[in-house]
Amino acid sequence: MQRFRAKWFKSTLRWLILTAVVFFLFQSLQKHWQEVTKLRIDGRGIACLAIAIGVTLFAHIFAGYVWSWILGVLSYRVSGSWGAQTYLKTNIAKYLPGNVWHFYGRINAAKQIGIPIAPATLSILLESLLMAGAACFFAMVRFHSAIWLQCAVVIVILIAIHPVFLNVALKQVSKLKQSTGLIQLDRYPLLSLLGELGFLGLRSVGFILTFLALRSISSAELPLLFSGFAWAWLLGFIIPGLPGGIGVFEAIAVAIFSQAFPSAQVLAVVALYRFVNTLAEAMGAGLAAIDERWSR
């Protein structure tokens, strides 16, 4: 009964958030629809979009390498190419209902090469924590109003992933589950943290290039774009909604950037960036499948 109530609450919360997001985006689009239809992309803009797709694709490839580094600190050495190939093949599954199938695919792929389910699952949890910490770092570039909260989140994450604390927690969990295999961190995952900073940085560059497709950007506006993207990405990552963060990311981005840029341009940019990111993920999955076939 308690499990049913928790499931009902989670489902209801997801639908409430989704309804609010769709309503907000619909109202914004309805209000600025005429301005949106007047926007045009010239040759320079098309070039910016093409580069944005390439940068975003590279970001997802790099994320796969970072995941392999995380498995390394858990004492499971895998090649970066295997990590990238697996990441690209499974990442597109996050758009399926449930928003967990990309995780399941990666855990299953790790299991097939001899990595137990527990460390594979922990690697994904660590990846999520490191990504959240990286997003908070970028968010602090511009949004000083919530800097104490951001600093607190970053500090908690940095402490939680330290081997001194995390290994103790893992040992207790192992005892509770009466598991014979004990998972331990070999070292502090500093390289993995830096890798996630690189991943978020590349994703931000892809977003900024998408912005450049519609308008010029001054150097003074770059901090807002980096930190605003980080906030929108982070909230889209942690707030339940449509699979892949669809809707939540767009609503947060529109709310943040409409205060500094014309709303019509912001609406067009977030729609274009969703296309850029999804196309890059689809291209990555296709390239990974081709590479796997050639390897065989």
d(C-alpha 29, C-alpha 23), whole Å: 10
Asked if residue 236 is part of any domain, the answer here is yes
Confidence (pTM): 0.84
Copy the structure tokens of residue 215: 């308008």
Q: What is the pLDDT of residue 50?
A: 94
Which residue type does 182 have? L
Asked if residue 37 is part of any domain, the answer here is no
Asked if residue 3 is part of any domain, the answer here is no
Asked if residue 15 is part of any domain, the answer here is no
Residue 130, CA distances (Å) to 1, 124, 191, 247 in order = 35, 10, 11, 23
Which contacts (CB < 8 Å, 24+ apart) does range 33-42 have? 35/262, 35/263, 35/264, 36/264, 36/267, 36/268, 38/264, 39/214, 39/264, 39/265, 39/268, 41/213, 41/214
Reduced 3-state DSSP string for 21-46 = HHHHHHHHHHHHHHHHHCCCCCHHHH
Residue pLDDT tens, the chain, 296 long: 555 555 555 556 555 655 655 555 555 555 555 554 556 778 888 899 999 999 999 999 999 999 999 999 988 999 999 999 999 999 988 887 767 888 999 999 999 999 998 889 999 999 998 998 899 888 887 655 566 777 777 888 888 888 888 888 777 766 655 555 667 787 889 999 999 999 999 999 999 999 998 888 888 899 899 999 998 999 888 876 666 667 788 888 888 998 889 888 888 888 888 888 888 999 999 999 888 788 76
Copy the structure tokens of residue 175: 């005892």
Asked if residue 46 is part of any domain, the answer here is yes
Asked if residue 20 is part of any domain, the answer here is no
Residue 42, CA distances (Å) to 107, 134, 214, 219 in order = 44, 34, 8, 22
Range of the domain at 264: 42-295
**Tens-digit pLDDT profile for residues 218-238:** 888 998 999 999 989 998 888
**Tens-digit pLDDT profile for residues 141-186:** 765 556 677 777 788 888 888 888 888 877 776 665 555 566 778 7
Q: What is the CA radius of gyration of the chain?
A: 20
- Tally the domains of the chain: 1
Q: What is the pLDDT of residue 140?
A: 81
Asked if residue 21 is part of any domain, the answer here is no
